Structures are given as C-alpha cells and as structure tokens.
Amino acid sequence: MPHNSAAHLIRYSGRGDFSPAVIDRAAGSSVFTEDGRELLDFTSGQMSAILGHSHPEIVATVHEQVGRLDHLYSGMLSRPVLDLARRLADSVPAPLEKTMLLTTGAEANEAALRMAKLVTGGHEVVSFARSWHGMTQAAAGATYVAGRGGYGPAAPGNFALPVPDRFRPDIVDADGNLDWRRQLDLGFDLIDAQSVGALAACLVEPILSSGGVVDLPPGYLAALRDKCHERGMLLIIDEAQTGLCRTGDWYAFERDGVVPDILTLSKTLGAGLPLAAVLTSADIEQRAHDRGFLFFTTHVNDPLPAAVGNTVLDVLSRDRLDLRAGELGARLRDGLLELAEKHSAIGDVRGRGLLVGLELVDTPAGGDADALGTAVTRRCAELGLHMNIVQLPGMGGTFRIAPPLTATDDEIDRGLSILGTALTETTA
C-alpha cells in the first residue's frame, strides 16, 4: 500500500521524494514491495550489496556473531577485527598494511583527511569538481557534485580539480580528444596560485560515480600521484563503490599500478551493512600516532560488522567474483551498446566491470535528456527494474548501473530488456 512519507520522515535529498512503494523484503538481485511487486535491483541497494540481498552466508554470520560478540568498548580488540585487518593488508599492495575499521564512507574519508593534515602539517585538500566523498565536515568540503549551497562557508583550503571526462572534454588535442595531461597541468597551476603553501592531500575516486560514472583515463592516476608527491601531498583514493571486485579487479587503482598513500573503503566492504576502512602504511600511521592522531567513534573496530567483512572476503575469493564481475560487465556493456544503436538518445556507454554508466543526451528531434531520464527511470520501475540516474545541470543524465556481482546472466538480460522497452516507450 502507498505510504505518507511526508508525515514523519525528514527528506534528506532535495533531488526528489522517496519512492512510492514500501519495500517488504529483499533476496538476491531483487527487492519486493509490500503489495507483492518484484523490482530487479540494478543499484545493489546504495551501490553496496555486492553479494546481493540477504546472502545466506552473510545472514549466518550476523546470526552467529550477534549472539556471541556484537559491540565493545573501543579500546578492546576482538578476533574478527584482527582477522579482517590482516586480510585487508594481504589484499592490497605494500606498503598499505595498517587498518582502521569504521562505519561509513564519509567517516572513513574524514579520518583519512584528518590523518593527512596531521602528518603533512597542511590543511589544503584537492578533489574533483564533480566529486562525492560524504556529508561530514571535511568530506563535504571535498564534495562538489551537490550540497554546497546554503550552509555557510566550507572549511578553507578546498580546491576543485577539473574532471577528465572523455565524453565531454573541456581541453582537447588536435584530434578533438580530451588532452588530460594539459588539463591536469592547468588544474595544478590554478591550485598552486591559490595555495597558501599548506597542501595536505588529494582525495579522488578512480571512477567518479555521482559525477557521472567517469573512469579516469589510463595514466591519469600515476600523473596525479606525481603531482601530489612533488608538493608533499598525500594521495587518498576513495574506493567506496569501486573496491572489492566490482570493476573486475580487486581494487580499481590496480589497473594503473598506483598505490595510494591512504585507501578508503566502505559500501562494498560490508556488502550492504555499515562497515568502512582506512588503510595506510606503517610509516604514515606511526607519524600520525606520534603527532597524537585522534579519530574516536562509537563503533570503531566493532566485532559484528568486522565478522561480516571477513565473510565478504571469503565469498569474493572463493567464488572468484573479480572474474565474474568482468564477465557480467562485458555482457552488460554489449547489451547497452546494442541499445545505443537503436536509440539516438544514448550518447555514451562507459565504466568498468559492473559499474557502468549510460549517458542520455538531447536528441536532434528536440528530446530533452533530463525529462527523458526521469521518464525512463519511472517506466523502468513500473516494469520491474530499479535504476538510478545522476542528473547534473546542463549534462543530461547518466544511469549508474551496478547490479550485484552475484547476478545471473538471465538477470542481466532481463534488466537490459526492461530498459530497452522503457526507452522505446518513452521516446515514442
């Protein structure tokens, strides 16, 4: 039955209201409404449930762990926390070997920025002009895609870097392609002009998700690392949505052979439960500790979510879901490219693995991409497919397509079929 969301809930996004249906349960790649409708979930919840909903091994872990050890005083340690910290260190390149377990991505980015500022002695932070890193103070200061207006001044020392968007390039070479090296040079020329000599960190996603599923060009991340280290800055990579096999690699930064100074994980680490992590080197951790690093939260190093994180790593490794994400991602991209041949409103298909963007554009016949994106999203929901579209001013709309890594071939095909029907009906 419909709900009256305005009665008692605070709306936490100005972009739209809550969805009209009340969700009763979820299993695998689907969620089910109170009135019995099934919605194929092509966002993995909030881009988090990489093992699908109610994965039986996650359910068993929660059931067992909550009855044994759920929450502790934050100075106490438990076996799930020690095991997860060791296993995360084993999953990333050296010298990343120290871990702090937290709850959300914003919290992890907050801790990473706090550590970088303390270690470098600076306070200035660089991030992409279409970034999303969270809604807490420092994370929100480094977020440019939304939520900046009306809250007073952001923390001083936040600088925006141009987005290397190959579909909508702002600086091009002789062939009309994005000249990202010249763009990066210009971006840092402007940052250097504004800096007061206190550059601390650069915080970036390897694939900007809320910024329109923009995959950094090969070579960009290495050049960015060099820019940072030339200035004594730490490179922080936020793999909230890309980490743990979604892109076809365990971590998206692996493609470029770049090791961040600090890595933050969240969303995918808990596979839908609140679990985040900050990873860094022993050297950086020691320097932060020597300077009195403080980041204290109620649920730091809690055993219950840590146990879930260990189960997530078990399933990802055993079922080789990095390879599976690559296979399913290729199937998804091929299907979307077929749709693009039939629909002129599809301007671009991009992404890696099972994080894929489909960008809608205005059509010569006068079709408005923003209106079309809203209509397609609504029609998909009516037909049984949950989709999410990022609509940025003047940029049409980009569907962020991120099914669970446990999805079947048939579920990918069914989602593509529904999307194709929705596009056909709404453009007609």
| CATH number, domain with residue 79 | 3.40.640.10
The pLDDT of residue 194 is 97
Mean pLDDT of the chain: 95
Q: What is the pLDDT of residue 394?
A: 66
Q: According to the model, what pLDDT value does residue 3 have?
A: 66
**Is residue 61 included in any domain, yes or no?**
no
Q: Which of 76, 69, 110, 112 is nearest to 301 (CA)?
A: 76
The upper half-sphere exposure of residue 28, i.e. CA atoms within 13 Å in the direction of its Cβ, equals 9
Question: Are residues 334 and 312 located together in one domain of the fold?
Answer: no
Structure tokens at 255: 């493609």
Active site residue 65: no
The residue among 10 and 289 whose pLDDT is bigger is: 289
Residue 63 belongs to some domain of the structure: no
pLDDT of 191-222, one tens digit each?
999 999 999 999 999 999 999 999 999 999 99
Domain boundary among 318, 341, 368: 318
Residues 302 and 247 occupy one common structural domain: yes
Report the pLDDT value the prediction gives residue 62, as an integer from 0 to 100.
98
- Mean pLDDT along residues 293-313: 97
Answer with the one of 291, 318, 345 that is the final residue of a domain.
Answer: 318
Of the residues 205, 239, 256, 411, only one is catalytic, namely 205
- Report the percentage of the chain scoring pLDDT > 90: 89
Is residue 1's pLDDT more than 60?
no
Give pLDDT, residue 358. Answer: 97
Q: Could you tell me if residue 62 is inside a domain?
A: no
Same domain, yes or no: 365 and 291: no
Domains: count for the chain: 2
Paired sense of beta strands 397-401 and 355-360, if any: antiparallel
- Tell whether 11 is covered by a domain: no
pLDDT tens-place string over residues 357-405: 999 998 876 578 989 999 999 999 999 999 999 887 766 789 999 999 9
Boundary (domain end) residue, out of 275, 293, 318: 318
pLDDT, one tens digit per residue, over 11-61 is: 887 666 788 889 999 999 999 999 999 999 999 999 999 999 999 999 999
Looking at the structure, tell me whether residues 327 and 339 fall in a common domain. yes
Check if 250 is active-site: no
Chain centre to alpha carbon of residue 420: 26
Catalytic one of 110, 130, 132, 215 = 132
Is residue 300 domain-shared with residue 341, that is, in the same domain?
Answer: no
Backbone Cα Rg of the chain: 21
- Of the pLDDT bands very low, low, confident and very high (cuts 50, 70, 90), residue 105 is very high
Helices 79-91, 303-318: crossing angle, 10 deg rounding = 40
Quick check: is 132 catalytic? yes
352 in the same domain as 226 = no
User: pLDDT value at position 367?
Assistant: 76
The region of weakest confidence among 65-69, 122-126, 396-400 is 396-400
Identified catalytic residue from 179, 238, 302, 411: 238
- The catalytic residue among 65, 114, 225, 241 is 241
Mean pLDDT (whole number) for 399-417? 98
Q: Decide which of 362 and 333 is more confident.
A: 333
382 is catalytic: no
Residues 126 and 143 in one domain: yes
pLDDT confidence of residue 41: 98
Let me know if 194 is a catalytic residue. no
Q: Are residues 74 and 118 in the same domain?
A: yes
Cα dihedral value 235, 255, 397, 131, nearest 10: -10
- Asked if 380 contacts 422 with a C-beta cutoff of 8 angstroms, the reply is yes
- The answer to the question of residue 382 being in a domain is yes
pLDDT tens-digit readout, 149-180: 999 988 899 999 999 999 999 999 999 999 99
Contact 128, 163 (CB under 8 A): yes
Query: What pLDDT, on the 0 to 100 scale, is given for residue 18?
Result: 84
Q: Are residues 216 and 138 located together in one domain of the fold?
A: yes
Residue 355 domain flag: yes
Q: Assess whether 237 and 220 both reside in one domain.
A: yes
Catalytic residue among 114, 227, 246, 267: 267
Tell me the three state secondary structure of residue 89.
Answer: helix
* Statement: residue 5 has pLDDT above 80: no
Q: Is residue 60 part of a domain?
A: no
Q: Would you call 368 a catalytic residue per the annotation?
A: no
Q: Which of 117, 239, 400, 411 is catalytic?
A: 400
Model confidence pLDDT, tens digit, residues 232-285: 999 999 999 999 999 999 999 999 999 999 999 999 999 999 999 999 999 999
Residues in Cβ contact with 295 at an 8 Å cutoff, skipping those fewer than 6 apart: 100, 110, 111, 114, 115
Task: Return all residues near 361 (Cβ < 8 A) that are at least 6 apart.
Answer: 345, 346, 347, 348, 369, 396
pLDDT bin (cut points 50, 70, 90) of residue 133 is very high
**Residue 388 to residue 125: CA distance in whole angstroms:** 29
Helix boundaries (H) for 234-366 = 282-290, 303-318, 321-342
Does 2 have pLDDT greater than 70?
no
Residue 422: CATH number of its domain? 3.90.1150.10
> What is residue 13's predicted lDDT score, i.e. its pLDDT?
79
246 is in which domain, residue-wise?
69-318
Q: pTM here?
A: 0.97
pLDDT-derived band at 68, boundaries 50, 70, 90: very high
359 and 215, same structural domain?
Answer: no
Q: Cα separation of 126 and 224, whole Å?
A: 11
pLDDT at 11: 87
Look at residue 104 and tell me if it is in a domain: yes
* 146 and 186 both lie in a single domain: yes
